[in-house]
Amino acid sequence: MNASNMELLRTKATAARSAYEPGYDPMLDATPGAGVDYAPTYWIGTAGEPPADDGPIQHDTEVEVAIIGAGFTGLTTAIFLAQEYGIQSVVLEANRTAWGCSTRNGGQAQCASGRLKRSQWIKRWGLDTALKMHRECVEGMENFKELIKDIDCDPQPGGHLYIAHRARVMPTLEEEAKLLRDTFGYNAQILDARTVKEQWVGDQEAHGAMHEPEGIGVHAAKLAFGYIKKARALGVKVHPASPVAGWETRDGYHYLRTPGGVVRAKTVAVATGGYTSNHLHKEFKNRLMPVLSNSVVTRPLTPQEIAACNFHTHQVLTDTRVLRNYYRLLPDNRLQIGSRSAISGRQAPEDKYEKNLREAIARKFPAIAGIELEYSWWGWVDVSHDMMPRIVQPDPKERIFYAMGYGGNGVMYSSQAGRRMAQRIAGRGAELDLPIFQDRLPFPNVREMVVSEAFAPFRRLGQRFLYRWYHLKDEQL
């Protein structure tokens, strides 16, 4: 490739090499592809042209730090390495930049780092550790706000409304809100059903709600594209269409084999989230339980439809289902709503999962039942087996680090995780004494079978039964 073509790559995003593949399954497939196009999400459809990158790896190269994954976590790790510690890194992405979780989520930045509530932190770790975990989340939220203040990502601030979808849930919400106020100094407030429907949103399933003071809705792709621009302005090299198809460690160096050449690195940071293949490296095999989430976006609502749905807020909304709905009115007055989806990647394209979201819209907002959907997609969520993330160096003898397992709360916490992973890589992580910084992602609570690939279908079978139980619990019990 001549110099003028190389310059073109540096001023323009690398084009897709193949069409979007809807059925990728991280539990079964070796890699997510090489240069695959974006999923057809609302975020990609409305973000404008992707920013310039540095093109695929073209030859063998040596780097100080290689980051695998050019999404929220990988890019913020690179940003903080350069900004705070003067350490340059190279980011390797299998497909197009920010191709995975970062452009398929709901864009809800909440003050959380995993699936567990504060009361559950206390039960698991005790009050002192729970208080430290809360401070970590609050600090993470402030870090996120600082990081995005110069990124045009359509922020919708104001908090998070956690809506009780059944009356029996309200006592639990009231207890949690009291704990948040009295123990954590976090001003969560309880709203009754009438207040929610008249002053916030006319969700017909609402039996009340808990309002959290922290929460920001963002345009996921504009945020990701902003991170890419910020990283490259700091000297970070971002290489799409460069999947790691082989990984060897010899004499203190990691050799990452990509289609265009081998990257030799002293340090590797893994930030592949829900798209982490079981084949990437032995450290990550069966450490996550990837689950699918579907999302749809409607055509813009008319002023009359907004009034009929009584939308008085653009804040992020979730309901209290175990298989929860997450939703909000976007800045262009479209409704976005998502929920859990299929069990396997091959099942994800089935119409019934989109139909479930159509039915959720009809239940919550009957005035717009049957409204046209303009975007529909799905994506993998990196759920850990104990419902909390990890930002760790699993083996102190090897320069491998990873940050993943956010369980659907990665929009905000990925930026804090990137900051913490950069801190660890730079050798400044001695004070990171919380459990999420100390232990590996756990295996599922099943003995020797879990380390075998052959056990994967049985985990999926268990997930299928769990989803049926959750549905029964959410809707009938």
For residues 15-40, one letter each, b for 16 or more C-beta atoms within 10 angstroms of the residue's C-beta and e for the rest, the string is ebbeebeeebbbbbbebbbbbbbbbe
d(CA 235, CA 418): 17
- 288-300 β-sheet, strand order: 189-191, 209-212, 160-163, 316-319, 326-329, 334-340, 288-300, 373-384
- pLDDT tens-digit profile of 338-358? 998 889 989 999 999 999 999
* Alpha helix positions (H), 49-208: 72-85, 118-125, 127-148, 170-182, 193-195
Residue 451's pLDDT is: 34
Claim: this prediction has a pTM higher than 0.85: yes
Q: Where in the chain is the domain with CATH 3.30.9.10?
A: 155-214+290-379
* Look-up of token digits 């019990």: 477
Residue 452 in this model has a pLDDT that exceeds 60? no
Residue 453 in this model has a pLDDT that exceeds 50? no
In order, the DSSP letters of 267-301 are EEEE--GGG--TTS-GGGTTSEEEEEEEEEEEEEP
- pLDDT tens-digit profile of 423-435? 999 999 888 999 9
Residue 211, CA distances (Å) to 108, 219, 285 in order: 15, 22, 38
Q: Where in the chain is the domain with CATH 3.50.50.60?
A: 12-105+221-288+386-455
Residue 417 per-residue DSSP state: H
d(CA 298, CA 335): 5
Superfamily of domain 155-214+290-379: D-Amino Acid Oxidase, subunit A, domain 2 (3.30.9.10)
Judge residue 196's burial from the number of C-beta atoms within 10 Å of its C-beta, 0-12 exposed, 13-18 middle, 19 or more buried.
buried
- pLDDT tens-digit profile of 289-306? 999 999 999 999 999 999
Residue 433's pLDDT is: 94
- pLDDT tens-digit profile of 189-229? 999 999 999 999 999 999 999 999 999 999 999 999 999 99
Residue 204, H or E segment: none
Residue 476, CA distances (Å) to 209, 299, 328, 468 in order: 20, 32, 25, 11
Decide if 278 contacts 285 (C-beta within 8 A).
yes
Residue 472's pLDDT is: 80
Residue 379 in this model has a pLDDT that exceeds 80? yes
Top-tier CATH class for 12-105+221-288+386-455:
alpha beta
Mean pLDDT along residues 319-324: 90
Average pLDDT, the chain: 93
